[in-house]
A and B are shown apart, each in its own frame.
Chain A
């Protein structure tokens, strides 16, 4: 059974750094992509970027380039989303999802990580 499990909810202050995680099991992680999606409060889904687990090839949506860093550790089947300096506007739910090589759809989703940034 495939499972995609994300790290728990976070409450941070503006200016702090943060790295959240997304771990997959029961899946051919090394031949798959991981994508990160943002959902602002009461809003729709937005792609942030995607990373390939074999070689860490990464693509960012232009509006997120330089704002976050996506990375991965293939040895533990885990992808990460990192902020150097959080802002209140980063308050959102962040989802990760997986897509196998050669597929162009995201079939397994994590449960979401709620991030609250407030002073």
Chain B
């Protein structure tokens, strides 16, 4: 089970939109619509912000949205704010196990 591939870092100015890509295989991201995204601030537990590719849990800002095409899922953060500075991880169900696999993680910096 190899980790899903994410860029190490993405940055943007306040108010801009950024996209984080998460690339897997046809055994995980490409096979199932069970991709979720987690946000982790330093020293804190991860927080679910997107599930089943496109759905937001109650209380999560509408500035976060998700999509998927083939073996690649995407997290879009629009109207970037200082509080969005954090690490972001994608997670997919995988037929290997069966269990789950995380992405390598992306650090978002607000310039």
Contact = CB atoms under 8 A, between A and B. Distances in A.
B1 A61 contact: yes
A111 B1 contact: no
Given A45-B105, A95-B45, A107-B48, A61 B99 contact: yes
Nearest to A44: B105
B89 A45 contact: yes
Contact of A44 (B45, B57, B99, B104): B104
A10 interface: no
Contacts of A111: 45
A105 B99 contact: no
B64 interface: no
B101 interface: yes
Contacts of A105: 34, 36, 48, 51-52, 91
Interface of A: 35, 37, 44-47, 49-50, 59-62, 95, 97, 103-107, 109-112
B102 interface: yes
B93 A104 contact: yes
Contacts of B100: 35, 47, 50, 106
B41 interface: no
Contacts of B48: 105-107, 109
Nearest to A104: B34
14 contacts: A44-B3, A44-B89, A45-B40, A45-B89, A45-B91, A47-B100, A47-B101, A50-B99, A104-B93, A105-B51, A106-B48, A106-B91, A106-B100, A107-B48
Nearest to B50: A105
Contacts of A47: 99-102
B32 A104 contact: yes
A36 B97 CA distance: 15
Interface in B1-16: 1, 3
B45 A112 contact: yes
A59 to B, nearest CB: 5
Interface string B87-111: 1010101000111111111000000
A103 B40 CA distance: 21
